[in-house]
Each structure stands twice: as C-alpha cells, then as structure tokens.
Amino acid sequence: MALNTKQTNKNKQTNPSPLKGALDRFAQFFIEPLFLESTLNRELHAVDAEQKKNLQSDEWRLYQLEKSLSNPKHPFCHFATGNLEVLKTQPEAKGVNVRAKFMEFHEKHYSANRMKLVVLGREPLDVLEDWVVELFAGVPNKNLMPNRWEAEVPFRESDLGIQVFAKPVMDLRELQLLFPFLDEEKMFESQPSRYIKHLVGHEGPGSIMARLKEKGWATKLDAFESLVCAGIPGTFDCHISLTEEKEIVKIFFQYVSLLRESPPQEWIFDEQKGMADFDFKFKQKTLASRFTSETSAVMQKPLPREWLLSGYSRLRKFDSQLIDKGLGCLRPDNFRLTIVSQKFPGDWDQKEKWYGTEYRHEKIPDDFMAEIKEAASSSASDRLAELHLPHKNNFIPTKLEVEKKEVKEPAVAPRVIRNSSIARTWFKKDDTFGVPKANLVISCRNPNIYSTAENAVKARLFTNLVRDALEAYSYDAELAGLQYSVTLDARGLLLDLSGYNDKLAVLLEQVLIAMRDLEIKDQRFDIIKKDLSREYNDWELQQPYHQVSNYTAWLNSERDYVVEESLAELPNITAEDVRQFKKQILSQVHIESYVHGNLYKEDALKLADMIETILKPHELPRPQWPVIRSLILPAGSNYVYKKMLKDPANVNHCIEVWLYVGDKSDRMTRAKTMLLDQMTKEPAFDQLRTKEKLGYVVLSGVQSFSTTYGLCFTIQSKERPEYLRGRIEEFLNSFTKTLESMPEATFKDHKQSLIAERLEKPLNLTQESDWHCQRIWSESYDFNWSAEDAAIVKTIIKEEMIEFYDRHMKPGSQEGAKLSVHLYAQTDESIRHAETAETPEASSKPIPITNVHDFRNGLDSMIQTPVGFLEEFME
C-alpha cells in the first residue's frame, strides 16, 4: 500500500493461477471492511513504528518542516504520517472512539466512483473483465465528488520571501529554493515544467551547475516540480549541494532572467519530446506490482483514456505561452529560501513539532532581496557571460533499428569471443527483448586496489574524480538515455555502460580516455575528498538496518573494509598520493568484458579493441588475479559482534542474525535454504512484527556472500538486541513444530511457489545482463542455475527439510553456525530488555568478536567451485 497527499494506492501481487481468489479477497477490503479492534491496534502500532524509523531521516524531517511552515488552514500543513500519540492516545484521552472514527472516514471518502482498478494477469481480457465485474460490483458507489482543496493555497504571500535555516542530522549543506508554480494536472500535453527544469537543472556548458562547479561552490543540482494536491498549483523546486549560498541564489536568478529573455526554443522541446517517445516505445518491462500501482495512479488524472499507459511520460505539444507563464512564477517575490547546514548559522531558535528539527526562519533581509531582484532583472550586458542556453545534444540516438535474432529458445549463456592473456570478452546478442539498447560491463582485475584499506580509499577517490571530470560531457549522454558508472569491487575497477547502443562506443571512448589521462587538480581533489569524508561520516548516521548488513558482510569476507576503516585512512591521503596510485590502477590488469544487447559479434570485438588500444595494459599473470572468498563458520559456532551507533538522537537498536548453511555453489544447499526462506518468511513477519510488534523493520530471507550461503533475520527496534535475538531464537524453535506438522499439500504449495519463482524469465535486458555478470565475475559459470535450482526443489521431500532444518536452523543444533551483529542506540528506550534473551535450547552463549582481524584470520575460507568450465563457452 502506498500513500501520498491525495490518494491511497493498494496493490496485491500473486502467482497467476490463484488470481481470481486473490481478487475476491482484495475486493472484500472495499465491500465489507472489518476494522477489527485487534487489527486496527496492530496497524496503529505499525504506523507508529514506521514514523519512529524515520525520525532521524533528513528527507522526512525537511519535508515535514516545509509542511509545518506552510498555511495552517491548508491540509498540506498537517503531519505527514501520524503516530500513536495523534492517532490513538490523544483521541482516546478525549473520549473519542478511534475505531468509529476510522469507519466514519471510510464511509465518508471511499466510493467506487473515486477508485481505479488495474488487474494484470495471463488470462484473456474477457475473463479478467468478467472477474472484475463479478467480484467488485459490490463496492458501494456513493457518487462522491472528487476531493479538491481550492479554498486555500499552501503558501500564502506571508509564507514567501522568507529564509529558513534548518539543522540536519547528516552533514548536509544544501540550498533549497521553492516557488509556488502552475497547476499542471491538465497541462499533460505540454508540461511546461519539463522544459524549465531541463534548463535549470542542466549540467553542460553555459548552465548554472557548470558555473557553480567552476567556482567550487556546488557539487550537485536538482530541479523538479511537485504536485501538492488536487485543485491547487504545485511547486517548482531547486536543491543545490553548496558552499556559498548567497552567490548561488543570484546566479540562479540571473539564469532565469536569461530564460525569460530568450524565447522558448522549440528545438529544445523537440529533443525532450523525441527522447520521451523513444523511452516509452522501448520501455523495459517492470514488476507487475509496480506496473499496476503506477497505472492506477495515472488513471486518477484527467488524461484521455488512450494515453493511460504513457501517462505523463510523453510530451505532445510545444506551448511557448505556458513555458513563459511557468518562468513567470520564478520571481524574487514568489519564493522561499531554505539553507540546510549543521554549522550555519548556529543560532537555531525553534524546533519543528513532529520531528524536532532545529530551525530559524525570518524575512529575507532587504539588502539581500535587493541583490536578488537585481539579478532577476539583469540584461545580457550585466549578466554573467558564462551563462547561456545548452547546445544541441549529439548523443541523441538516430539509429534505432533492431534486428531481432529469431531463435526457438533464447540462449542461456553468453559466449567467449576473445580470450588472451590480456583480455577476455563475453558476448550475447539479444534474442529476447528486441530493443535498440546494449549493456557493456568491464572488469579490470587488479590485486593492488583492495590490498589495503588505504589503497581502496585512493582508488575510490580516483573513480570519483573521473566522474567529476566527465560530468559536463556525460550529462548529454544521460539525457539521451546512455548511462555509465566507474566503481570498485574486490576484484578491482568496474566500468558499466548501458542504454541506447547507437552512441555507446562514443561514450566509452571518452570515459576510457578520461580514466587514462585524468589530470588531478588540487582544487577539485579537495572538494571531492571533502564530499567523500561527508559521505563516510553520514553513512554512520543512516538508519541502523541500512548499516547492519555491511557489518555482516565484512565479518564474512576474507578481505573487505567497512566505512570506519576507510574514514580512518582518508584524512592522510593527498592529491599527490592519488596521482602516484593512478599509475598502478590501470597499468597492469586483466580485462574481462561482457557485451549484451542490440549489437553483433563484430561490434563487441571493436569495443574490446578500443578498450585494449586506449588503456594499453600490461599482462597480469593468472596467479595474481584477485580471488574473492567468504569465510566458513565452524559447526556449532555462535559469534556476536557488538557496536554502538554514532547518532546520539537515534532511538532504535538493530540486530542481524545470519545462520550459516554452507557452500554457495552446492545446488542442494541453495535449494533447501531457499525453500526454508519460502516457508519461514510469512510466519516470521507475522510473529515478530505483526503479533509481537518488535518494530516496523522485520526482514528475513536468503543471504549469500561470495562463496557461502545462509538465512538471515534482521530487526530494527527500540528493544535491545539481546532481547531481539531471544525472540528470533524462540521463533526458530517454534517453527520446528510448524514444519513437522505441515500438511503435505501445504509443503507442496511452498515448493510450487519457489519453483515458479526460480523459473521466472528475466524481465528486461538489464536483468539478464546482471544475471550473466554474477556468474562470470564469480567464475562459477553456472548460467543455468535458476532452472537447475527449480529441478532440485522438485525432488525435495518434507523429511529431508526437517533434517536440514534441525541441522542448520534449530537452536541447540551441534552442526548449526550463527553470526549475530548487534547495533546499539545510545539512547535506550527498551521496555522488555530484562526478559531472557536466550532460549533454553541455545547450545552456547555467543562468543564476542573483539578483534575482527584475529577473528577473520582464525577462520578457513570457502573456495569458489566452478559449476561449468570456461572452455564450454568458447567460440
């Protein structure tokens, strides 16, 4: 279920065969909702837990601050999510029957004429339509008028012309400009904000961002429009990660004056329209739940019904008058300025009611407003000469022909079309999706990059500097549907390009040259280093459940580093250090490339030639290739790693329990672990979240590392990790009886669900590429792993699963192995921590990990066992 400011969106995804039954149950939510007291109470606690989860999220804090400082007579000002205090405690203290209020709300607002339904199934359309008529005819139609909030506006004149200083949790330094804008709901053909944000948010030569970057004043700029609610204008926003806020505001308004002075350019609109048309025509398939959710939301808009699938994604008509009207909203007397900083000004004098965000707000000083008005009215003679409209985009694809390869069955594996001591190239021509796109992934193996934490940080600075150097050039490629990334992994450097294949080689050439010839300037290095330092520090302020899995992976890896290790190395690294290390990054590597999509073998070989010709690497002998291995937890082991969280205001603890099973390449091990996940996921969620209300974040599932496999449980909660560990163990212990008493029909249903999941085909080109790359980089070459897993699941009997569960999962097992990570909040608000943390069946107390280096050195490693051999895939 998803909520926004004007609608509720409920969706349900099922396996295809029981769709009618699922629809029947879904329809009853709206025909005869029960509103049981117990269910309502659980959901209110879930809402409260979710709100507490977001208390330290700057995104939520700043959004609520924007709302709280808006017109109190407009519903936009209200609390965005709610909590137990406002939904239960306060109303009940006033004698309000909360259940009756919810039923009253449902009666007042839910009506068939306000609802839109999307059903996606494999059955014929006539059958689906008959089911909908049969099952949803009982939804009451009260002929309610659509909700409109036209009497008041969210931002009055008195709410504008002000500056707000907000203190964030993370080390953000951001400038936010908010302008009440047009109501674009019925402007779906022209969408003037698309034209304006394209230019304001541009990063190429002549743009605001290019000027700010040149001066070292900003690192990121985002421009976007936001719909507030039906019947009123939305907002136009510009968020800039900054260093000098006053100068930036003036440059922004100078650029707006340039746009006002320049008549709207139809060629710019045509570029946007053309790319929007291409993107819709060649849109990749998404999850059924996402498609139905997005489409039902679009159906609430006043679009012609024949345009529902494209929605607002396409542009249809150039309207210069509406563009001018939109630009007319970007005025000095029609905006609010927000400066987000942990240090400036330092004298915040108020706290926002719901999240406690410290802030100060006041009228923009007269002298600063005078400077803004002067910038907004500037002419060509007194405006910065560096500001101008963008040039035409040469990356826009012109060759979109697709020669689909006709095959009886799509090929399961790519083929090796080149294999030398320097480089290996894998290739698969798309034989499934028929889109003019391609994916290219290049792994440059280099043992030096991850040999130490210091080297890993230097390599990370190098990749960030490469992206920084290419920012203006690659922005056009991004607008034209071509993306690239330069990242690191334990093997070395990873370069990834994807998008329309027409100009992919052009982008590749420039990225490779930038990597080879990167000039590291002191000023840009200092900015990039500070950004990385903030990123590392902010990482430790994330919600605990976002952090915990990194520690679990670190403890299970033969060679890996966590953020605190990187953060310790960063201050001492200089620009000269990175200049010297750059010589090692690409000089001696083994290059392994993967090419997939609307290309021929000859095209793939040309790309391989380009890579070798530009980089000119020396051979890296096979024994020096980095080997990635995970650690083996001994039978009967029970380890725990404990860490205090950095954020003093965070109230949530977190635990992750990883139950080690064995070798990832062993198909039977994988199949049984996945089947256990299938059987335990819903009961675990129901017991630990719904019934015990331990917290909003309760997760379970298969967790694999480079060469090992297991089952993982994660809980974020106000309760202490020791208590949470006890509740997980109690669930695991009780599930023994659930499994033993499980009817054969239910066991078979679980198997069928897992088999259906494993036999699902890739949704799109990108997903198939990801699946292939996982098998290539791991050197398992198990390209048919999913079908093989399904075949093995089919053979498993319940008695085998009971034995497997008792051996690996059941508390007290002599063969089971467990690793727990405990993250502690500095503020302890737990109420149940005095209760026992260990079940009577626990075989041993956890052994604390006090020295991670010694812990990892004391364990054996699981080697990668290839399922296939490289020679099988050679051409």
Please answer whether residues 338 and 178 qualify as being in contact, where contact means their C-beta atoms are separated by less than 8 angstroms: yes
Which CATH architecture is the domain 157-376 placed in? Answer: 2-Layer Sandwich (3.30)
CA distance 378 to 365: 20
Predicted local confidence at residue 343, as pLDDT: 87
| Mean pLDDT of the 728-741 span | 96
Residue 22: its H or E element? helix 19-31
Instruction: Give 435-478 pLDDT, tens digit per residue.
Output: 999 999 999 999 999 999 999 999 999 999 999 999 999 999 99
Rounded distance between C-alpha atoms, residue 364 and residue 370, angstroms:
10
Region 707-734 average pLDDT:
96
Q: What is the pLDDT of residues 623-639, one digit of tens each?
A: 999 989 999 999 999 99
CA dihedral of 339, 340, 343, 344, whole degrees rounded to 10: 10
Q: Does 630-873 carry CATH code 3.30.830.10?
A: yes
Collect all residues with Cβ–Cβ distance below 8 Å to 247 and sequence separation of at least 6.
215, 217
Q: CA quadruple 392, 394, 395, 401: dihedral positive or negative? A: positive
Mean pLDDT value across residues 91-106 = 91
Element (H, E) at 64: helix 58-68
Residue 2: the pLDDT is: 46
Determine the CATH number of domain 2-136: 3.30.830.10
Domains 157-376 and 415-624 share a fold: yes
| pLDDT score for 844 | 62
DSSP string for 378-446: --TTTS-TT--PPPP-TTS-------PPP-SS--SS-EEEEE-SSEEEEEEE--SS--SEEEEEEEEE-
The pLDDT, as a whole number, for residue 1 is 44
The per-residue pLDDT for 864 is 82
In this prediction, residues 109-129 reach a mean pLDDT of 93
294-348 tens-digit pLDDT? 999 999 999 999 999 999 999 999 999 999 999 999 999 999 999 999 988 888 9
Q: What does the domain layout of the chain look like in residue ranges?
A: 2-136, 157-376, 415-624, 630-873
* E strand intervals along 10-148: none
Q: Which residue has the tokens 């129901």?
A: 686
pLDDT digits (tens, 9 = 90+) for 535-567: 999 999 999 999 999 999 999 999 899 999 999
Instruction: Report the distance separating Cα 413 and Cα 402, nearest Å.
Output: 21
Angle, CA 302 vertex, CA 297 and CA 304 arms, to 5°: 100
The radius of gyration of the chain from alpha carbons, rounded to an integer in Å, stands at 29
Other Cβ atoms within 10 Å of 464 Cβ, number: 20
CATH number of this structure's domain 415-624, picked from the four choices 3.40.50.300, 1.10.8.590, 3.90.850.10, 3.30.830.10: 3.30.830.10
pTM (2 decimals)? 0.90
Q: What is the pLDDT of residue 17?
A: 60
179-217 pLDDT, tens digit per residue, is 999 999 999 999 999 999 999 999 999 999 999 999 889
| 306 C-beta neighbours (distance < 10 Å), count | 7
